[in-house]
Chains A and B, each alone.
Chain A
């Protein structure tokens, strides 16, 4: 499905670009003399002095395939059952069971790495992330509320955020344990807690340090770092997964 998705995205991008506001100029972008965006200019600030993380960000797809792509073998301390599940999934035997292959949400943090952009918007009291992937959203509450203590488990969890210097720290819980962390199939359980630390290094580059704390599947927390890049002068497209879905029947099914 994912390769098809990328093809679909590529096809979308080649047709009637002007119709989709794909060439609208993003305001407040530092530009070079030739008009091109200067993506290494300093990161912008909000009026209150906090970093302005807003913009359309494009994930690095290698973390979609494997969240632990930059880690060494052994850096992901799996419980024996999780290791067994991971081995089977990474051999491709369960591709048809991957939730987003079935148009179910990617979960967190996989949704950050889906191979289509997302838009981060900062408003008073919260951050909203609008995902092109399946046209979904997440709300990250910054109003001081606590994470729920006995959450009804859901796909995208419950998220609160706070600033630690120039880093937006997002903590999430309440996941349903059905999501895969990546296409290779690192599993999750309902005990999953995710911490995402968003740091905008310069105008065009973000780092998200992601800590997976899931004692149901891993013997200790582990951390990976993703590196989205800013997209300017474009807009999110509409992506409705349930429309004309043709991939799942081509995926491997283990009888």
Chain B
């Protein structure tokens, strides 16, 4: 599936660009004298002094393939059953177990898809609009608490708050069948995701992702995912179930 996604993305990029507002100059973008976006300009800040995270962003694709790609062997603190499950999914075995193979998006892989996502801050709620699956997350910033006994969903329930210059998003209630990455790491219903958004300059952001899931991992573990700003463009439409041809080629049950 993801091979097709990347191929599709390439094909889309080759068709009439102007039609998709690809060349719209994103307002508020600092530029060098030649008109190019200055991606190392300072982080923009709002009247409250906090970083503004708005923009179209794209994650380094390696984390979709392997969320632990920056970690050393042995640094992922698997519980034995989770390690066994992960091992059973190696080399594509179990590809059909990944809900995304059936066009069902889910967290935390949604953030790591190889397509852009757009962050839009609004009063009391921050939207993340995803080109992948043409879907969205709502992250509530109105002070509400996470639900105590959530009905499990594919995206979970998310609340965000500022800690200094870090925007910290806590998410629970994620269905246990979602995968952490294409390599096949899983989680349990106890997963508590902590995403720490750190915009370092105009064009660069890190998301520190902490996975706190005592049923599947012996202790919380953290990965740092790098995200870059994609200026002067817009999200495309991406409908997974349209002409889906990959599932039949995947293996596993």
Contact = CB atoms under 8 A, between A and B. Distances in A.
Query: Do chains A and B stick together as partners?
Result: yes
Contacts of B135: 134-137
Interface stretch (A63-71, A146-154, A201-209, A225-233): A146-154
Contact of B20 (A104, A122, A137, A152): A152
Given A19-B148, A137-B134, A240 B154 contact: yes
B42 interface: no
B149 interface: yes
Contact of B151 (A16, A158, A243): A16
A130 B140 CA distance: 14
A139 B237 contact: no
Interface stretch (A20-28, A37-45, A83-91): A20-28
A18 B147 contact: yes
A145 interface: yes
Interface of B: 12, 15-16, 18-21, 24, 27, 99, 102-105, 120-122, 124-125, 127, 129, 134-136, 138, 140, 142, 144, 147-151, 153-155, 157, 173, 234-237, 239-242
Contacts of A15: 151
A242 B129 contact: no
Interface in A112-150: 121-123, 125-126, 128, 130, 134-137, 139, 141, 143, 145, 148-150
A20 B147 contact: yes
Contacts of A145: 21, 24
A75 interface: no
Contacts of A242: 102-104, 240-241
A222 interface: no
A31 B122 CA distance: 24
A125 B27 contact: yes
Contacts, number: 111
A187 interface: no
Given A105-B134, A241-B241, 17 more contacts: A20-B147, A20-B151, A21-B147, A21-B157, A27-B142, A103-B103, A123-B120, A130-B138, A137-B129, A145-B24, A152-B12, A152-B15, A152-B20, A156-B237, A158-B20, A242-B241, A243-B104
Nearest to B150: A19
Given A150-B18, A152-B20, A104 B147 contact: no
B136 A19 contact: no
Contact of A20 (B121, B129, B150): B150
Contacts of A125: 27
Q: Size range of the interface on A? A: 35 or more
B237 A155 contact: yes
A148 B122 contact: no
A236 interface: yes
Given A125-B27, A137-B136, A104 B151 contact: no
25 contacts: A12-B151, A16-B150, A16-B151, A18-B149, A21-B140, A102-B241, A104-B241, A104-B242, A105-B239, A123-B121, A128-B120, A134-B135, A135-B135, A136-B134, A145-B21, A148-B21, A150-B18, A152-B15, A154-B236, A154-B237, A158-B21, A238-B155, A240-B104, A242-B102, A242-B240
Contacts of A130: 127, 136, 138
Contacts of A185: none
A59 interface: no
Nearest to B242: A104
B122 A123 contact: yes
Contacts of B19: 148-152, 174
B147 A151 contact: no
B154 A148 contact: no
